[in-house]
Structure 1
Amino acid sequence: MSPHATVGSDEILIVGGGASAVFVTFALRDRAAVGGTPAPRITVVGREPEVGRGLAYGRADEHHRLNSPAGKMSLSATDDAAFLRYLDEVGWRDVDGSAAGAGTFVPRRVFGDYVASSFAALSGKPDSGVRFVQGEVVDVAEGEISGLIDGQSADGRRVDGPSAGGPSADGPSADGPSGDAGVTATLADGRTLSADRVVLALGNPAPGLVPSNAQRSIDDPWAPGALDRVTASDRILLIGTGLTMIDVATSLARRSPGIRLTATSRHLMLPAVHLTGPAAPGPGLGDDVSTLGEMATLFGRQLRDATATGSPWQAVLDGLRPQTQALWLRLSVADRERFLAHAARRWDVHRHRMAPAVWAELSALLEDGTLTLKSSGDVAGESFDVAINCTGPASVASAGWSPLVDRLLGRGTIVADPTGIGVDADPSGFVRSADGEPSTRILTIGAALKGALWETVAIGEVRQVAYRIADAVLAPASAEVAA
């Protein structure tokens, strides 16, 4: 039996108020319903007054579209049409007046509305056992619970009053967790919460700092008001040519007609474009490949076969999606590092594609000269007024971006994975400490698991991991990942 099986699961605490937290919440309830077991009491703690949007769906320009079609964006793995029904219920229409179909790429803000309203509806039910506490968690520690006495924190303040996000269903209580020892989360204002397990849904750090020869730099384009400092007369350098650059470029072009933008990166590779219609996914790779060389050889053969038969390469790559995490688990650390050094960028631009409508907008900017692509060498001698970092987020396991992460790293509760791109964890999301042992109580999801599973940030993979976490928490003995 898994060592996780001896740990109680009556009280679950989810740290983070973004979409991942909502996916975990729904997965826990779905799995409990299917298994005929009582759903755990769930408390979500987040800094913002609303749960579900996070950075990706809360600060997005109203024109920014999802990178996956609506038919693949439902919260529940057992109800693919849930998001489409929501769009129909709210009367959403595209710019051409058409209703959403399974292949429609809707604005990210609209998806944020769906996630936030779904959580609000669930937590608003008195008997749901789901509640929200507004605040910032600055520490999480395993051990005996001493923080909650009769619903109060250690300093006497109640956790279910207005400062905690309002009255709601019962969450972590004075009785503490159901096992011998639980987890205590400490909030920045001194409140404490107890639970049997905690899921760290931390989101992404800001991008790492990138040097430039510009007079001023914007290190995080999604910080509130960051792009307001840019004017049409500025000479603007966008560092990076991925999806973040596309969002920044289209936003600036809309708000400042006549603006001129230069984008640069080492390889000058733009993200590929999604197909405009459905295509049957490729066969994927077999269970008998275990090295990077074997995988590359077989994948290359499938691409050549697709070209010969007129099949789209996107379908071949999409055939890998259900097994990408399992393939990553088979690779040695050396093969993972080799992939990251030599193939990761090419993988990213083909795997994480833009919507056709986004490509139409971007190509117009390229054609009329609003946006110019230049290599790093070509821009080295040029002067710019503003450099905007569009390189994407730093590793979750890096220090300095989160008081909680800093404390967990400092204590050795979490460590970077061997490749350095995420937090060391097992396939079910249980974090590994400095001694190499997986926790029985602390899990994580999202970008933190990149080193453990590689593909973990797109909604399909977030949902997949959320259900795996639910399996591990609610039925630990049967939670296995094919490797």
Structure 2
Amino acid sequence: MFRRVAIIGGGAAAATLLSELLERQSPQSLHLDWYTGGEASARGVAYGTASERHLLNVRAASMSMFAGKPRGFLDFAQRDDPAIAGTDFLPRRRYGDYLEAEVARALQQGKAHGHDVNIIPFAADALVPERDGVTVIHGEESRRVDAAVLALGALPPQPLPGVSAAALDSGRYVVDPWRLLADRAAWPQPPRNVVVLGLGLTAVDVLLELSAHWPQTTFTAISRHGLLPEAHLHAASAPADDSAGLVEAMRDTPDIRHWLHLLREATTQEGSGWRAIVDSLRPHSAGLWAELPLEQRARFMRHARWAWERVRHRMPPQIRDALTALERDGRLQRRRGRMQSVDVAGDGVVLHLDHAGHSQTLAADLVIQTVGLNTDVRRTPHRLISQLLTNAHIAADPLGLGVLADTDGHLQRDGTREAPTHWAHVFAIGSLLRGTLWESTAMPEIRQQARHLADQLLAP
């Protein structure tokens, strides 16, 4: 059993693990150091939004913080509004309230169980793993713990290649869209035309919020294929079976091209539609990902990732309707293309795009980068991650999907796939494990990871 544990990160993954540990009645008291990074504890970026327009992309009944309490979030929401149904898509702000309430309750319960929690509102600057523990360094202070868990969430976004220093310095190229949404006052005069790079769920959030606050602004959204995420149905659906036959066939031949053929065949035969097939694969995603050799994972990332994420990470139907209205009103245009460069031009910026070998030029007052989560530890200014990489305490996933780790969350200390070695006292949870588990960012996966990691940390 690890009695002294450092949890590093202030978002939902860290809060879930902390609460899971404090819920347990362990034979010995725990001492937990929680390094929240100075952000609002528990909410993180995902649930820190105050906008009612930003909805969960998972139905309320599936968003419990605890694997052992499947109705947790729904019960919380229904205490304020009994009319809420488990099939509803609720505001993410409300989910942040739930996380904070659960953490507060867990802290009280942990105190009753004799556990001690030290909330440190700063980031950890360095970790020094050793044979029998870990030293955590913050400023001029160092603390010795039995185990440390990285629960950092997504890494700080970085500018795309081709963006000039002048464009960045002008403030007309926004790398972090959430900072812009939190401080729209920085633009006292709304821009006339805005380009959004990316068409995933982050782009959806940005378009909904800014189109409401800047009613005269027009938006152009650019992505490789020019397609928005698919939408959930109004009514939840389920496959006729658990897709056991499909999963077995995929495991028999771990090849991306063959898998796409099997999926097309299954969606043609399955009466409940492709959504049910995609959802039925969710419990098997980590095992299927583990079957893929590195070259097949790379092929997936190049050719199929965009399509999978469109159908896997869907938006609520009311969000789809709002975006359809923006397009119908002429305020939103979608274009296909790859951004080649962005530079300052007069009082705005100019983008050079490429689509099917043809160059295009587009002028804008403002460009907002919304290309999804950054998990590439090889190219990040994050102080702790940089220190761990520089000192060879962790190894980067070769596809930019976080760090190399075992499926139980132990961080590997070298990049040898054939015979990797790991730290016995250093773990990760959440998005840094994408290279190991692939699906590792949503609450249904996070809560399972937290439960299993708590089992390991408290094992005698």
Q: Shorter-chain-normalised TM-score: which range?
A: 0.7 to 0.9
For residue 24 of structure 1, report the CA deviation from its aligned partner: 1.2
1:62 partnered with 2:20: no
On the 8 A contact 1:22/1:52 being kept in 2, the answer is: yes
1:433 partnered with 2:413: yes
- What residue identity is the alignment partner of 2:192? D
On the 8 A contact 1:207/1:390 being kept in 2, the answer is: no
On the 8 A contact 2:410/2:427 being kept in 1, the answer is: yes
Identify the match of residue 348 of structure 1 among 288, 309, 312: 309
1:27 partnered with 2:7: no
SS at 1:278 equivalent: coil
2:75 corresponds to: 85
- What residue identity is the alignment partner of 1:303? T
SS at 1:316 equivalent: helix
On the 8 A contact 1:218/1:226 being kept in 2, the answer is: no
Q: Which moved more, 1:467-476 or 1:389-398?
A: 467-476
Q: Which moved more, 1:265-274 or 1:120-129?
A: 120-129
Residues 227 and 221 from structure 1, CA distance in 2 versus in 1: closer, same or farther, beyond 3 angstroms?
A: farther
1:185 partnered with 2:136: yes
Give the RMSD, CA atoms, in angstroms. 2.3
Residues of 1 paired with 2:289 and 2:121: CA distance? 36
On the 8 A contact 2:158/2:380 being kept in 1, the answer is: no
Residues of 2 paired with 1:130 and 1:263: CA distance? 49
On the 8 A contact 2:208/2:322 being kept in 1, the answer is: yes
Once the two structures are superposed, residues 335-379 of structure 1 have per-residue CA deviations (whole angstroms, 9 ceiling, x without a partner) of: 111111111110001000001121121111111111111122479
1:44 corresponds to: 34
- What residue identity is the alignment partner of 1:187? H
Q: What are the equivalent positions in structure 2 for 1:328-477 lying under 5 Å apart?
A: 328-376=289-337, 377=354, 380-434=360-414, 436-475=420-459
Residues 233 and 299 from structure 1, CA distance in 2 versus in 1: closer, same or farther, beyond 3 angstroms?
A: closer
Residues 60 and 375 from structure 1, CA distance in 2 versus in 1: closer, same or farther, beyond 3 angstroms?
A: farther
SS at 1:380 equivalent: strand
Runs of 5+ consecutive residues of structure 1 not aligned to the other structure: 1-7, 93-97, 144-179, 477-483
On the 8 A contact 1:449/1:456 being kept in 2, the answer is: yes
SS at 1:406 equivalent: helix
1:261 corresponds to: 219
On the 8 A contact 1:208/1:393 being kept in 2, the answer is: no
Residues of 1 paired with 2:266 and 2:292: CA distance? 20
Residues of 2 paired with 1:464 and 1:120: CA distance? 21
- What residue identity is the alignment partner of 1:296? L
Residues of 1 paired with 2:28 and 2:86: CA distance? 33
Residues of 2 paired with 1:290 and 1:60: CA distance? 46
Residues of 2 paired with 1:400 and 1:324: CA distance? 27
Residues of 2 paired with 1:323 and 1:266: CA distance? 28
Percent of aligned positions with the same letter in both sequences? 30
Residues of 2 paired with 1:416 and 1:200: CA distance? 14
On the 8 A contact 1:212/1:387 being kept in 2, the answer is: no
Residues of 1 paired with 2:22 and 2:260: CA distance? 39
Residues of 2 paired with 1:353 and 1:39: CA distance? 42
TM-score, structure 2 as length reference: 0.85
- What residue identity is the alignment partner of 1:217? Y
Q: Which moved more, 1:110-119 or 1:210-219?
A: 210-219
Between the two proteins, the alignment pairs up a number of residues equal to: 420
Once the two structures are superposed, residues 272-302 of structure 1 have per-residue CA deviations (whole angstroms, 9 ceiling, x without a partner) of: 0012112123533334435024433332221
Residues of 1 paired with 2:217 and 2:95: CA distance? 29
- What residue identity is the alignment partner of 2:31? R
1:283 corresponds to: 242
Q: Which moved more, 1:287-296 or 1:332-341?
A: 287-296
2:287 corresponds to: 326
Once the two structures are superposed, residues 41-88 of structure 1 have per-residue CA deviations (whole angstroms, 9 ceiling, x without a partner) of: 333211236421011111353320011011111111111111111112
The runs of at least 4 aligned residues of structure 1 exceeding 6 Å deviation read: none
1:234 partnered with 2:219: no
On the 8 A contact 1:28/1:39 being kept in 2, the answer is: no
